[in-house]
Structure 1
Amino acid sequence: MRIIHIANFYGPKSGGIKTTLHNLGSGYTAEGHEFIYVVPGKKFGREETTHGACISLPSWQIPFSGGYRVIRSTYRVKTILNSLKPDRIEVSDRFTLSCLGKWAADRNIPAIVFSHETLRGLVKNYLGVPMKRFVSWHNTRLASRFDFVVTTTNFAAAEFDEIGTTNVVRVPLGVDLQTFSPSLRNEELRTKMIKGGDVLLVHCGRLSPEKKPERSLETLRALLDRGINARLVYIGSGPLHKKLYDSSRDIPVTFWGYVANKKLLAQMIASADISLAPGPIETFCLAALESLASGTPVVASETSAVGEFLVDHNGDFVGLTAANNGRAFADAVQILLDEIAEDATLSDRCRTQAEQFPWSETIMRLGRLGGATPVAHRPTNKSAA
Structure 2
Amino acid sequence: MRGHGVHGHPRHARGVLPVFTASANLVVPAVAPIQLNDRVRIVQLANFYGPRSGGLRTALHNWGRGYAERGHEVILVVPGQRDSEEVLPGGVLRITRAAPVIPATGGYRIVNPRRVADVVRGLRPDVLEVSDRLTLRGFGGWARDRGIRSVVVSHERLDRLLGQFAPRRLATGWADAANRRMARNYDAVVCTTDFASEEFLRIGAPNLHRVPLGVDLAMFHPGKHDQGMRDSYAGPAQRFLLHCGRLSVEKQVERSIEAVRLLRREGHDTRLVIAGDGPRREALKSRARGLPVHFTGFISDKSRLAALFASADVSLAPGPHETFCLSALESLAAGTPVVASQSSALAEIITPGCGALASNRGSAFAEAVSSVLEIPANTRRASARRRAEDFGWAESVDGMLAVLGDDR
TM-score by length of 2: 0.88
User: Residue 10 of structure 1 contacts residue 18 of structure 1 at CA under 8 Å; is this kept in 2?
Assistant: yes
SS of alignment partner, residue 37 of structure 1: strand
User: Residue 25 of structure 1 contacts residue 35 of structure 1 at CA under 8 Å; is this kept in 2?
Assistant: yes
Tell me, in whole angstroms, the C-alpha distance in 1 between the residues paired with 2:143 and 2:98.
Answer: 22
Residues 258-286 of structure 1: per-residue CA shift (max 9 Å, x gap): 00110000000100000000000000000
1:66 partnered with 2:106: yes
Partner of 1:182: 222
User: Residue 297 of structure 1 contacts residue 347 of structure 1 at CA under 8 Å; is this kept in 2?
Assistant: yes
1:220 Cα shift? 0.5
Tell me, in whole angstroms, the C-alpha distance in 2 between the residues paired with 1:37 and 1:130.
Answer: 37
Instruction: Select which of 161, 172, 189 maps to 1:149.
Output: 189
Partner of 1:6: 45
User: Residue 150 of structure 2 contacts residue 404 of structure 2 at CA under 8 Å; is this kept in 1?
Assistant: no
Partner of 1:296: 336
SS of alignment partner, residue 259 of structure 1: coil
Partner of 1:238: 278
Residues 311-352 of structure 1: per-residue CA shift (max 9 Å, x gap): 2xxxx43111101011000000000000135xx322112111
1:15 partnered with 2:54: yes
Aligned residue pairs, count? 367
SS of alignment partner, residue 209 of structure 2: strand
Partner of 2:155: 116
Tell me, in whole angstroms, the C-alpha distance in 2 between the residues paired with 1:276 and 1:62.
Answer: 28
User: Residue 209 of structure 2 contacts residue 403 of structure 2 at CA under 8 Å; is this kept in 1?
Assistant: no
Partner of 1:379: none
1:196 Cα shift? 6.4
Instruction: Select which of 70, 93, 98 maps to 2:132.
Output: 93
Tell me, in whole angstroms, the C-alpha distance in 2 between the residues paired with 1:124 and 1:299.
Answer: 24
Instruction: Select which of 116, 121, 143 maps to 1:77.
Output: 116
Q: Can you give the 5+ residue segments of structure 1 that lack an aligned partner in the other structure?
A: 375-385
Tell me, in whole angstroms, the C-alpha distance in 1 between the residues paired with 2:372 and 2:236.
Answer: 21
1:23 Cα shift? 0.8
1:227 partnered with 2:267: yes
SS of alignment partner, residue 203 of structure 2: coil
1:12 Cα shift? 1.3
Task: Tell me the amino acid that sits aligned with residue 190 of structure 1.
Answer: R
SS of alignment partner, residue 217 of structure 2: coil
SS of alignment partner, residue 250 of structure 1: coil
SS of alignment partner, residue 130 of structure 2: strand
> Which aligned pairs between 1:278-357 and structure 2 lie closer than 5 A?
278-311=318-351, 316-341=352-377, 344-357=378-391
SS of alignment partner, residue 70 of structure 1: coil
Q: Identity rate of aligned residues, in percent?
A: 45
User: Residue 114 of structure 1 contacts residue 151 of structure 1 at CA under 8 Å; is this kept in 2?
Assistant: yes
Tell me, in whole angstroms, the C-alpha distance in 1 between the residues paired with 2:178 and 2:234.
Answer: 46
1:162 partnered with 2:198: no
TM-score by length of 1: 0.93
Tell me, in whole angstroms, the C-alpha distance in 1 between the residues paired with 2:330 and 2:277.
Answer: 18
1:30 Cα shift? 1.1
SS of alignment partner, residue 299 of structure 1: strand
Tell me, in whole angstroms, the C-alpha distance in 2 between the residues paired with 1:258 and 1:331.
Answer: 28
**Bigger mean CA deviation after superposition, 42-51 or 103-112:** 42-51
Q: Which has the higher contact order (CA 8 A, sep 6+)?
A: 2
SS of alignment partner, residue 9 of structure 1: coil
